[in-house]
Structure 1
Amino acid sequence: MTRRGGVSRGMVAGLQCGFGADDDEDAVRENRRLAAESVLPGGTLVTVHQTHSPDAVVVREPWSLADRPEADALVTDRRGLVLGIVTADCAPVLLADERAGVVGAAHAGWRGAHGGVIEATLAAMEQLGAGRGNIAAAIGPCIAQASYEVDDGFRANFEEADEPYFERGREGHWQFDLEGYVAHRLACAGVGHVEPMRRDTYAEEEAFYSFRRATHRGEPNYGRQMSLIALPA
């Protein structure tokens, strides 16, 4: 989803789907309803409390917003459920094994991707009968390498094998390719087909919310877009 449409107003105007955005709660609920309806009319939206963790959960029945578990990925084989992940520069990853009837959604910022959220999501999908070679994964809008400057301290979190995802910038700094890194993790984990969207949340202001853009501008708040997936009815 982009930020276009929706009922939120002010600094986060549009289809703002994050409860942590200091937005009107009724507006957020309506935006989430609109988003879920566009994917599966009559479906029930299920989300998690995202914490940049490597944790994935299996969804067998919907839970209330107050009871949502802390995790950064969710998978299901149940029809009627719409899995949703909110992002504002991190990479949303949507996964499906059509043959097995299993879908998943993951929130993959650098910390979660490096920590294993992708592999955890795939393992959870396998619990439901999915096969990695049959899984197709789409990487949604996230911050692009040209917009993602990091410092030497950030680079030190990664191994030498990850060098292709870092381009040297000004002294002591690098440009990090989050989308490329996530695609690499998916491919190395055995996913059959990986499709990056190649959309930059930072640069495309009319289309996407961006945490880093808001931070650079000194804005007190930022919105979140939602990425969703569901099994067909």
Structure 2
Amino acid sequence: MPVIPSLKSRLAVRERPACAHVMLQRWEKLAFLHWRWDADEIQRTLPPGLFVDTFQGDAWLAIVPFYMRGIRPRFLLAVPGISDFLELNVRTYVHDEAGRPGVWFYSLDCNQPLAVWTARTFFCLPYQHARMQARESSWIDYTCHRRGESGASHFRYQIADGTQHAEPGSIEFFLAERYLLFAHTSRGIRFGQVHHVPYPLADVKLDAWDVNPLLQAGFADPQRPPDHLIGSPGVDVRVYPLTA
């Protein structure tokens, strides 16, 4: 039987790894749109070796639009036109047999072809080419049109001033404080770690959203607004290589 993650194990993955990181990134202006989901349905979508992670019996499925800034390999400078782009991911929460909690991505839409190639090649992640745009006033108007799809997704959100960190054991901690990603490779399940300070979390107003990314991932329309909504102005991130 797999080990169920404990609060201790959830806190442990926040520690900075002893090995060298391979990339530096900044994630900005994130909106986390979460829906409660049937845990058995999520489990059926996972590869062998991964298990759905739940909070009080519920699984969660998320759409996360955000900005990627200053993306670069270790020891190199950011490059204008390459290092800054947009990303929108569809994700759920899982753990492995050892009880290590992390994220499973169904898709990651991106408007930087080099980033798509790099993530597919070195991290075995399901990145997708997309045309994306984010316009800002007092609101962020965020659109994503995946290559080969007939229509674009649109999100209009506003991140409030004032932030706080998630209390360990809270639903916000469960959803946001994730430092491992899992990938299904030719050698089986591998995980990669990221390190950053705990997310500064803020309330989010959501004026427009759609569920096309969930449908593209093979899920049914939840036919309701997100069950949980939170945002963050952003964090600086160190990215580490995949390991067994």
Return the TM-score normalized by structure 2: 0.25
Return the TM-score normalized by structure 1: 0.26
The answer to which structure has the higher strand fraction is 2
The answer to which structure has the higher helix fraction is 1
